[in-house]
Structure 1
Amino acid sequence: MIVNDSTKSNFLNLMALEMDPEGGTRGYDVISYICLLDDLIDHADDVRELRSKGILINCLGSDQQVADLFNELTTNLTPNPNAYRDTITGIHNHLKKSFKVSIARANYTHFNTPWSFIATFAATLGLGFSAVQAFK
C-alpha cells in the first residue's frame, strides 16, 4: 500500500461515498479497512515494521506522519465487526503460537548479526566440551 499526499483525501472521499444514503454500499468495508489499518498502525515503529516487510510504502514523509494520518482518520468511526473477522482471528491465532513467536523474537533481538550467532555457538560448544570433560 502506498501512502502519499493524496491518501487522506482519497480515504475521506471513499468513506463519504460509502456513507451516502443514495449510493452507499452499507457494508462499511472501506471504514472497516481503515480501522483495521489503524489497529495495526499506532506508532512510527509500526509503520517502520510494515515498511521493512514491503507491506507499506511511505511517500508521505516521516513514519510518525503516517501513524498520525491513520489515527486521525479513524476518529469517531465504527467499523463493521464482521468485515475482517477472519483476518483478525488469523493474526490472533498466529500470536498464540508462543513458541514460534518466541523463537522469532529471540532471533530478531539476539541474533541480528552473524557474529552473535557464532559467539553463541562457540559458547555452547565450550560448555558442551566442559561438561564432557567434567564427567569423564
Structure 2
Amino acid sequence: MNVEHLVDFLRIYYLPSKLREVGQNYNTTEHIKYPMTAKELKAAGVTFVAIDGDKQLDITYSKGKLKIPKLFIQDITEAIFRNIIFFEQSHYHLDSYFIDYMIFFDDLIDSPEDVQILVKSNIIEHWLGTDEQVATVINSIVKHISIYSRNFYYNEVCHKLIAFASKKRNKWKAILRRNYFNHPWSITSVIYLVILLILTVLQVYTGFM
C-alpha cells in the first residue's frame, strides 16, 4: 500500500480491519440508514460496549450490544480529524471510511447527554473541559464534509440498530432495567413483591381447599 504523505499514513492507520469488497454495490439514498443518538439507543435498550484494539473504525453490533473502540479526544484531535477528512474527500471519496466514521459519531452525539453516556461506557475519554465541548467538536468536524459516500460503511450496523430499537419489547426491557434494576434495593423490592404475590395466591388457593 503506497503512502503519499503523513495524512495518508494516518488514514491508513485508521482503516477498519474489514474493507469494502471490490465492486460492492452502492446503497441508494433511501436505503442508507444512520444511527439514532446515544440517548435514544440507550432508551431503546441498546448496550454500549467499549472495546480495546488498534482498529478505531471497527464498530460492530450484535444482539443488543453496540461495540465501539475507545475514542480519545484532546485539543489536537479536531485538527487531525479535519485533515484526514479533507484528504479523504480529495483522494478517496468513494472509499471514505473515516468520513463515514465521523458521520456515525455525529449522529450518535447530539447533546452533552449523549457524550456522557459514551463516557460512562468508557467509549469516549477526553481531556476537554466539558462534555458539551466534545459534542461541539464532533458536530463541527462533520460540517466541513462536502461529499457524502453512497456506500455508507456502517449502513448494515445502523439497519440492525434501528430494527432492534423499533421493537417495543426491547424498549420495555430498558425501562424496567432503568427504573427497577439499577440499584440493589430496587432488585430486593421486586423480589419481595414477587414473593408476596406468590404467598397471597397460595393463601387464596388454600382458602378454597
TM-score range, shorter chain: 0.7 to 0.9
The equivalent of 1:82 in structure 2 is: 151
TM-score relative to the length of structure 2: 0.58
Distance 2:197 2:178 in 1: 24
Unaligned 5+ segments in structure 2 are 1-70
Distance 1:58 1:102 in 2: 32
> Amino acid of the residue matched to residue 93 of structure 2?
R
Shift of 1:107: 0.9
CA contact (8 A) 1:14 1:30 kept: yes
Q: CA RMSD for the aligned pairs?
A: 1.9
The equivalent of 2:18 in structure 1 is: none
Q: 1:68 aligns with which of 123, 127, 136?
A: 136
CA 1:52–1:30: 2 relative to 1, 3 Å: same
Higher helix residue share: 1
Shift of 1:101: 4.1
Shift of 1:102: 2.5
Shift of 1:124: 2.0
CA contact (8 A) 1:35 1:79 kept: no
Higher strand residue share: 2
CA contact (8 A) 2:180 2:190 kept: no
Where does 1:15-54 land on structure 2 (aligned, <5 Å)?
15-20=85-90, 24-27=91-94, 28-54=96-122
Shift of 1:2: 0.5
**Deviating more after overlay: 109-118 vs 71-80:** 71-80
Distance 1:75 1:4 in 2: 19
Distance 2:150 2:199 in 1: 57
Shift of 1:76: 5.6
Equivalent residues, number: 133
The equivalent of 1:113 in structure 2 is: 183
**Moved >4 Å (runs of 4+):** none
Unaligned 5+ segments in structure 1 are none
Q: 2:173 aligns with which of 90, 94, 103?
A: 103
> Amino acid of the residue matched to residue 173 of structure 2?
I
CA 1:100–1:85: 2 relative to 1, 3 Å: same
Higher relative contact order, structure no. (Cα contacts within 8 Å, ≥ 6 residues apart): 2
